[in-house]
C-alpha cells in the first residue's frame, strides 16, 4: 500500500525573513519658520532693502503637498518663491550694457479697500546660445539609502540626463557621489562624450548614510581643478535631505560655500523627495553659494528647471542684486514688503559691495510686491501720543516712492546702480485695469498669504484667488498657470497635517 509522505511541518516563526516595504522617512522635513513682514510707518522707516530671490523650491513643495491632498506646512511657504515660479512678460533691456530692465505698476489692493499694491518687475537679458560662456559643471549626487525611492535617485538620473542635452559639447561635466563616503564617479569630461557621462549616471545606486560635507569638498576641488576663468563654474547638488556624516553644522557649511564662492565657483541645489527634506540647509547653501534652490517633484518640473529654463538656471547675468525702495511720506503713510522675509537687508547693506545678495539668470524675470497705505487710507498703526504730528500732505505728491537696484556683473566686484521712480504714471484706477501679469502675480501672492495663515489678507478666500487667476492667466504656453488654478482648487479641500495624522 502506497502512502503519501507527510507534509513538512510549518516553518518556525522567524525561520525565513518576511518581506517588508522599503523604509520611508515621514515627518522629518525641516523648514525655517518666519513671520510675515509687518507694516512699517513711512515717517519712521521710509527705506526698505532686500536681496533679490529667484528660487522656486517653495512652489514645487506646495504643489507636491497639495497633490497628496495635504496642506503644506506654513513654514514651507515663501511667498516670493511662489510668485517668481512663473515667467512674466516684462519688457527686456534694450542693450546688454545694462543687464536688466525695471517695470513698475501701482494698483488698488483687491483684499484691502483703500490700500494699494506696488509691483516691481525685473527682466534680465537673454544670453544667446551661440555666445553663452563655457560651463564647468560638477554634479554632486546624494546616493545614500534614503534616495532609493522612485521620486529621488531615479528622478535625479532622469533630470541630469535631460540637462545634458541642453549643454554645449565644449562644456565639461564631472560627477561626485556621496553616501557613507564620497567619491569621484566621473572626472571632468567634455559633454561631447555624452554616452560616457550617461553610462555613469545610469549606473548610480543608493545605499548608506549621508557624508554630504565630504562630497561638497570633493566637488569643489574638481570644479577648481577645471576652472573656466571666463566661463561658468558651478556645483549642482542633488539631494533629498540632511547631511549626517562629516560637517553637519549649518554655519560651518555656510562659511565653506561662502569661501568657495569667492574663488568663482557657485553652488545650486536641487531637492528631491519628501519625509527627510532639509529645506533650511538647502536654502542656506544655495543663498550663500550664489546659486538657486529648486525642488524637483516630477519629471515635468525637472524639464522646466533644467530644459526650458536651463539658461537662467546655469548662466547668471548679474550677481549680488539688491533692491532698495524709499517711500514718499507725502504720498504713503505705511507699507509692507510681501514675502522676502529671509532676504531682508539693513539699509546700509545696499551700498556695501561686501554684502552678498541674490543673482539673476539669463532671461529671468523677478517680481516683488509691496502693499502700501496712501495718505488718508486705512492704516495698521496708530499715531504715537508723543510723536511728531504728520504735516498736511501736498495735494499733488507726484511719486509714491523711488526704486534703486544695485548689482554686479558676474566677473566684477564693483556694483552698478539702476534707479526708477514709482510715480502716478504707473498707477491704474481699478484692479481690473492693472496689467495682466501684475494681476496674476497678485493672485499668486494672495494664495501664498492664505497658506501662511492670511494675517494681512482680511476676508479674502481661495475663491477670490481663483477669480483673479482665471481672469489673468493670459498666454500659458507650458500650462504653469492652469496648474496653479488646479492647486488653488486643491487647497480648498486639502487636509491639514494634524488631521492626517489622527
H or E stretch covering 470? helix 462-472
Residue 275's pLDDT band, with cuts at 50, 70 and 90, is confident
What would the grid cell of residue 326 be?
A: 524709499
Q: How many residues does the chain have?
A: 502
Residue 38 CB contacts under 8 Å (≥ 6 apart), including other chains: 336, 380
Average pLDDT over the chain, rounded to an integer? 87
pLDDT band at 208, cuts 50/70/90?
Answer: low
Give pLDDT, residue 396.
47
Alpha-carbon span 53 to 55, nearest angstrom = 6
pLDDT score at 16: 45
Q: How far apart are the first and last CA of the chain?
A: 63
Higher-confidence position of 13 and 296:
296
Answer yes or no: are the C-beta atoms of 13 and 358 closer than 8 Å.
no
* Cα–Cα distance, 190 to 187 (Å, whole number): 10
Which residues, including other chains, have CB under 8 Å from residue 382's CB and lie 6 or more apart? none
- Residue range 130-158: mean pLDDT, rounded: 89
State whether residue 55 is helix, strand or coil.
coil
What pLDDT, on the 0 to 100 scale, is given for residue 500? 40
What domains are there in the chain, each with its CATH number?
40-127+317-383+392-493 (2.60.40.1230), 135-313 (3.40.50.410)
435 Cβ neighbours under 8 A, 6+ residues apart: 105
User: What is the per-residue pLDDT for 391?
Assistant: 46
Average pLDDT over residues 215-232: 91
pLDDT of amino acid 388: 56
Q: Cell numbers 492670511 correspond to what residue?
A: 454
Torsion sign over Cα 432, 438, 440, 444: negative
Q: Is the pLDDT of residue 12 over 90?
A: no
- Rounded percentage of the chain residues whose pLDDT exceeds 90: 62
Quickly state the pLDDT bin for 210 (edges 50, 70, 90): low
- How far is residue 216's CA from residue 141's CA, in Å, rounded to a whole number? 10
Could you tell me the three cell numbers for 417? 546702480
Judge residue 131's burial from the number of C-beta atoms within 10 Å of its C-beta, 0-12 exposed, 13-18 middle, 19 or more buried. Answer: exposed
Listed as own residue / partner, the contacts of 72-78 with beta carbons closer than 8 Å and 24 or more positions apart are 72/451, 73/29, 73/31, 73/497, 74/33, 74/451, 74/452, 74/453, 75/31, 75/32, 75/33, 75/34, 76/29, 76/31, 76/279, 77/448, 77/451, 77/452, 78/53, 78/339, 78/341, 78/342, 78/448
Work out the percent of the chain whose per-residue pLDDT is above 70: 88
Confidence of residue 20 (pLDDT cuts 50, 70, 90): very low
Please tell me the least confidently modeled range out of 148-152, 209-213, 408-412, 497-501: 497-501
pLDDT confidence of residue 78:
96
CA atoms within 13 A on the CB side of 469: 25
Q: What is the pLDDT confidence band of residue 191, given thresholds at 50, 70 and 90? A: very high
Distance between CA atoms of residues 72 and 62, nearest Å: 6
**Which residue would you say has higher pLDDT here, 256 or 355?**
355
C-alpha 370, offset from chain centre: 19
Res. 164 pLDDT band, cuts 50 70 90: very high
Rounded Cα distance between 256 and 258, Å, is 5
Q: Identify the pLDDT of residue 393.
A: 46
Contact yes or no for 333/41 (Cβ under 8 A): yes
Q: What is the helix (H) or strand (E) element at residue 451, kind and residue range? A: helix 436-451
Which of 159-168, 187-196, 305-314 has the least mean pLDDT?
305-314
In 3D, which of 193, 297, 209 has the Cα closest to residue 248? 209
Cell of 201: 549616471
Using CA atoms, how far apart are residues 407 and 123, in angstroms rounded to an integer?
13
Highest mean pLDDT among 173-182, 200-209, 375-384, 429-438: 429-438
Tell me the whole-structure pTM to 2 decimals. 0.88
- Looking at residue 127, what is its pLDDT? 85
Least confident of 16-20, 237-241, 458-462: 16-20
Q: Higher confidence at residue 57 or residue 19?
A: 57
pLDDT at position 255 is 85
Higher pLDDT, residue 314 or 5: 314
Amino acid at each position: 500500500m502506497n502512502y503519501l509522505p507527510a507534509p513538512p511541518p510549518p516553518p518556525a516563526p522567524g525561520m525565513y525573513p518576511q518581506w517588508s516595504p522599503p523604509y520611508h522617512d515621514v515627518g522629518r522635513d525641516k523648514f525655517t519658520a518666519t513671520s510675515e513682514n509687518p507694516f512699517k510707518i513711512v515717517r519712521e522707516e521710509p527705506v526698505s532693502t532686500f536681496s533679490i530671490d529667484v528660487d522656486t523650491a517653495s512652489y514645487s513643495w506646495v504643489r507636491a503637498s497639495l497633490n497628496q491632498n495635504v496642506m503644506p506646512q506654513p513654514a514651507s511657504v515663501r511667498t516670493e518663491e511662489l510668485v517668481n515660479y512663473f515667467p512674466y512678460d516684462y519688457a527686456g533691456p534694450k542693450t546688454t550694457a545694462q543687464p536688466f530692465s525695471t517695470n513698475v505698476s501701482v494698483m488698488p489692493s483687491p483684499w484691502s479697500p483703500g490700500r494699494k499694491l506696488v509691483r516691481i518687475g525685473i527682466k534680465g537679458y537673454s544670453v544667446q546660445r551661440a555666445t553663452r560662456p563655457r560651463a564647468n559643471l560638477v554634479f554632486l549626487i546624494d546616493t545614500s539609502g534614503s534616495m532609493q525611492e522612485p521620486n529621488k535617485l531615479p528622478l535625479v538620473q532622469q533630470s541630469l540626463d535631460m540637462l545634458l542635452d541642453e549643454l554645449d559639447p565644449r562644456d565639461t561635466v564631472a560627477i561626485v557621489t556621496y553616501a557613507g563616503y564620497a567619491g569621484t564617479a566621473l572626472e571632468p569630461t567634455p559633454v561631447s562624450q555624452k554616452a560616457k557621462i550617461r553610462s555613469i549616471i545610469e549606473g548610480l545606486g543608493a545605499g548608506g548614510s549621508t557624508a554630504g560635507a565630504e562630497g561638497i569638498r570633493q566637488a569643489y576641488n574638481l570644479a577648481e581643478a577645471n576652472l573656466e576663468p571666463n566661463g561658468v563654474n558651478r556645483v549642482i547638488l542633488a539631494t533629498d535631505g540632511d547631511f549626517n556624516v562629516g560637517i553637519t553644522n549649518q554655519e560651518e557649511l555656510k562659511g565653506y560655500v561662502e569661501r568657495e564662492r569667492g574663488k568663482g565657483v557657485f553652488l545650486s541645489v536641487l531637492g528631491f523627495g519628501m519625509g527627510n527634506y532639509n529645506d533650511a540647509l538647502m536654502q542656506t547653501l544655495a543663498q550663500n553659494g550664489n546659486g538657486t534652490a529648486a525642488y524637483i517633484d516630477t519629471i515635468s518640473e525637472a524639464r522646466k528647471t533644467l530644459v526650458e529654463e536651463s539658461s537662467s538656471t546655469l548662466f547668471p547675468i548679474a550677481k549680488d542684486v539688491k533692491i532698495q525702495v524709499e517711500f514718499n511720506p507725502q504720498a504713503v503713510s505705511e507699507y509692507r514688503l510681501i514675502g522676502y522675509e529671509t532676504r531682508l537687508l539693513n539699509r546700509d547693506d545696499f551700498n556695501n559691495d561686501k554684502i552678498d545678495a541674490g543673482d539673476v539668470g539669463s532671461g529671468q524675470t523677478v517680481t516683488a510686491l509691496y502693499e502700501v497705505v496712501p495718505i488718508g487710507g486705512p492704516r495698521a498703526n496708530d499715531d504715537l501720543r508723543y510723536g511728531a504730528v504728520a504735516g498736511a500732505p501736498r495735494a499733488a505728491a507726484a511719486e509714491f516712492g523711488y526704486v534703486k537696484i544695485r548689482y554686479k556683473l558676474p566677473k566684477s566686484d564693483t556694483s552698478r546702480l539702476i534707479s526708477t521712480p514709482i510715480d502716478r504714471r504707473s498707477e491704474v484706477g481699478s484692479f481690473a485695469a492693472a496689467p495682466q501679469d501684475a494681476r496674476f502675480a497678485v493672485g499668486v501672492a494672495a494664495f501664498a498669504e492664505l497658506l501662511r495663515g492670511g494675517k494681512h489678507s482680511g476676508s479674502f478666500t481661495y475663491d477670490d484667488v481663483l477669480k483673479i487667476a482665471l481672469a489673468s492667466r493670459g498666454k500659458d504656453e507650458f500650462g504653469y498657470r492652469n496648474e496653479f488654478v488646479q492647486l488653488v482648487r486643491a487647497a480648498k479641500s486639502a487636509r491639514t497635517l494634524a488631521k492626517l495624522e489622527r
